[in-house]
Structure 1
């Protein structure tokens, strides 16, 4: 049984960033990265559907310590995966990744101040467990049991299990969905398919932006690479934070701006209402990014169309809608969403007692109430994932160094239900369907204090980098015998 100071679960964006921070900010601690898959990259290794790309600019989605140098700020999946491999190799992180190790169970012992971590291959012990596997189920996406699906004679695929041999050239394609995956698939498939129809029950907010950042390109042309990267990153953080704050403060104006901008890019045959006019407020769900307006270009040239309706039933050669219309299809892509999981579906126990993540509150967006020496790395919903995940990793390093300095071995955030009676909310506070479906399994957040996960990078930057560790909510102690009885 191998013992390490820190075990990092997951070798995607978060896990690679965590490994770098451990090496540079807490180098006295041994660590390993446990990855369930046979390669690194996480999301960017898993998703292989046409057009897969980032929905955030790479100057903020990329690592602050390894500048993004490619031309496009909105990058495709293969380019991001190549960047992650390059980052892991450059800093020697790849040597510490153990592939094919799916973490199944983790058991905490207060008397030993150790986690015992069981994987699909072997068992480890560690002083601190850092789960960087995100909150998506990598095994399967959300599958809807549509009426009449067995009658359909064409092919049905889900983006999360995209077949390598899928040839859709000259085929009639229906993409079911209106989220980020659907608006990515439609323009990517349109040039090869006979026609692509995006079938949506309700629309989402869609925003266009250039795939290349002209201002950033000018800065990179005249400034040293690291300085240019720092300035571009700061500019993008400031802009996205300001836009989010304005949209949340003035939702009616934001909706008008988004809807009117989309209307100008649509052909006359496709009205903005109902096809691109959502009934919810902007940022109640995440905005869908359309780089270089590629979705609207496909709609204008006729290679793609959008239908807002509900499915009545599948037929042998397509889909019959509630309106009575029929969509003929050779291939149906069910971009119906993802499934969420808590802490990579790891079974947790603390001193022999099973921990249900839904019964816990999230402390500072990363640790669970009553669970010692464990952090869960999740990113922002209103900004680049990495902005938040990197702050979390730096905070974990501060926490580890504080344990060393004080001679403590245990750190645990504790909440007193009698003193904290704020109504709980899901840790991911959006109204998207995949989040509502997971509300009963996700950890919860409160309304104020360290139990609230704020979507505010500037504020988190100050709190997590420089705020007090010993704040009265986080408790530090040495290992102690387990209570009797």
Structure 2
């Protein structure tokens, strides 16, 4: 890295230049740093993160029971065998990330409490200028970089999404969102209502039901749940046979990928069959008096929203044991002592947990500018869901919805490293996706097709996200089974990437 005097109005500061600047030290950023260092040991790199430590989601989420919703054999990196249970706690995942950082010497490259606020591209200088605020001191820092790799995730970590309900100011108890869980919140003997039934609620409820007097899951509409063992029986068998962990990791990765591919295929081709499979898998684990069609049969088709995984069926266990119950209704109003639903049912509560999702963060809410023009990402078209028209020397990691996030993060790392090597071979200092003449009148659709995937956090923010076209490479694919073949074979000289 070199230190140079900045241009323009920042003459009282010094600028640190790196070949590649990675934004975000969560699962994506740590993986990107590993791949970059492995492939290009001579390139300088820095990873910036706004938090006081690495880990991203696994650092910010502190609510009881927080765990993975994907198996760790695919959520873990392909280069680092996972040695724990298939479904893991945040503590276990953070220890795994600690090992990746320590074993690969990434500590020296990660800068904590450094929040990126603006990124400006200059075609004359062929580099990005990145403005950073240091959280512990408020100091303003400036970086320049030849390539900007956005790994900051896709939602706002500092606040969750909470709808407005009538009467919230009347409630005399405690209201908390899982993303701002108080460390001193004691639910022992309390009546708790959890609003929502997604992955967060499914994780939280079994954990707090152990000490709370009772937990009611209040949902506007049902979610598909799927119970599976916390540890895959195949992993138990292989480890009992002293099979090397590298082999176990790869075998289990392939097993989970094949299983999920099949469920995804059936959900698309025979949704009624997939629905029947999921409902019948739930039926024997729930009390006979539970109305499964009302509480556990969503109106959307399987996989149009994420299927919530229950390790060892823990949510069903809490319901069977009477520690938790489900109410499917809408909220008429909060009251002094709880919630009154639209059907008139009164739900008593000492604590209300709003597990109502999160707000999408469009590229970290960073102000981007290219050659003096502010960037509106909604006006760009994506190149393979990882680059964007009009934005040079920039890549973005957005993982899969159905498969594990990290499967795509690894694929994108491969692609970016291949692209950087290709630029070096061509002697190019700039690459930018540009629509070809034959693409000029191409129909454009949203970042995610709602017919394919339509959870609320996406529906609320799609208008802010880049568009996609109706043909490669202007599409944003969502299935690992497709991209693991397409991305490694993508032609870097087909005319859609322009080098200068």
TM-score normalised per structure 1: 0.96
Task: Give the structure 2 partner of residue 35 of structure 1.
Answer: 49
Q: Secondary structure of the equivalent of 1:64? A: coil
Task: Give the structure 2 partner of residue 302 of structure 1.
Answer: 322
Q: Secondary structure of the equivalent of 2:157? A: coil
Task: Give the structure 1 partner of residue 492 of structure 2.
Answer: 469
**Cα-to-partner distance string for 1:268-300 (whole Å, 9 max, x where unaligned):** 221101100111111111111111011111111
How many Å apart are 1:342 and its aligned residue? 1.3
Q: Secondary structure of the equivalent of 2:359? A: coil
Q: Tell me how many residue pairs correspond in the alignment.
A: 476
Q: 2:443 aligns with which of 422, 435, 440?
A: 422
Task: Give the structure 2 partner of residue 116 of structure 1.
Answer: 129
Task: Give the structure 2 partner of residue 9 of structure 1.
Answer: 23
Q: 1:92 aligns with which of 94, 105, 123?
A: 105
| CA distance in 1 between partners of 2:67 and 2:425 (Å) | 43
Aligned counterparts, 1:12-411, within 5 A: 12-70=26-84, 72-121=85-134, 122-220=141-239, 221-411=241-431
**Cα-to-partner distance string for 1:51-77 (whole Å, 9 max, x where unaligned):** 11111110000011111112x110111
Q: Determine if contact 2:148/2:394 at 8 Å carries over to the other structure.
A: yes
How many Å apart are 1:420 and its aligned residue? 4.2
Q: Secondary structure of the equivalent of 2:189? A: coil
My pick for the range that moved more, 104-113 or 452-461, is 452-461
Q: Secondary structure of the equivalent of 1:440? A: helix
How many Å apart are 1:428 and its aligned residue? 7.1
| CA distance in 2 between partners of 1:69 and 1:97 (Å) | 25
My pick for the range that moved more, 122-131 or 264-273, is 264-273
The structure-2 alpha-carbon separation of the partners of 1:457 and 1:64, relative to structure 1 and needing over 3 Å to count, comes to same
How many Å apart are 1:38 and its aligned residue? 0.4
Task: Give the structure 2 partner of residue 443 of structure 1.
Answer: 466
**Cα-to-partner distance string for 1:229-288 (whole Å, 9 max, x where unaligned):** 122212222221222112111111111111222122210221101100111111111111
**Cα-to-partner distance string for 1:137-173 (whole Å, 9 max, x where unaligned):** 1121101121100100000000000000110000000
C-alpha RMSD of matched pairs (Å): 1.3
Structure 2, gaps ≥5 residues long: 1-14, 135-140
Superposed structure 1 runs of 4+ greater than 4 Å apart: none
| CA distance in 1 between partners of 2:231 and 2:161 (Å) | 32
Q: Secondary structure of the equivalent of 1:86? A: helix
The structure-2 alpha-carbon separation of the partners of 1:139 and 1:416, relative to structure 1 and needing over 3 Å to count, comes to farther
**Cα-to-partner distance string for 1:410-452 (whole Å, 9 max, x where unaligned):** 1111125863422312247521111100111112222321111
Q: Secondary structure of the equivalent of 1:222? A: coil
| CA distance in 1 between partners of 2:499 and 2:265 (Å) | 36
Q: Determine if contact 2:447/2:476 at 8 Å carries over to the other structure.
A: no
Q: Secondary structure of the equivalent of 1:130? A: strand
| CA distance in 2 between partners of 1:316 and 1:237 (Å) | 48
| CA distance in 2 between partners of 1:39 and 1:279 (Å) | 40
Q: Determine if contact 1:365/1:452 at 8 Å carries over to the other structure.
A: yes
The structure-2 alpha-carbon separation of the partners of 1:211 and 1:428, relative to structure 1 and needing over 3 Å to count, comes to farther
Q: Determine if contact 1:26/1:400 at 8 Å carries over to the other structure.
A: no
| CA distance in 2 between partners of 1:196 and 1:62 (Å) | 32
How many Å apart are 1:346 and its aligned residue? 1.1
| CA distance in 2 between partners of 1:401 and 1:238 (Å) | 32
Q: Determine if contact 1:411/1:474 at 8 Å carries over to the other structure.
A: yes
Q: Determine if contact 1:362/1:443 at 8 Å carries over to the other structure.
A: yes
Q: Secondary structure of the equivalent of 1:145? A: coil
How many Å apart are 1:467 and its aligned residue? 2.7
Q: Secondary structure of the equivalent of 1:168? A: coil
My pick for the range that moved more, 431-440 or 235-244, is 235-244
| CA distance in 2 between partners of 1:58 and 1:306 (Å) | 29
| CA distance in 1 between partners of 2:69 and 2:87 (Å) | 7
| CA distance in 2 between partners of 1:119 and 1:73 (Å) | 38
The structure-2 alpha-carbon separation of the partners of 1:228 and 1:268, relative to structure 1 and needing over 3 Å to count, comes to closer
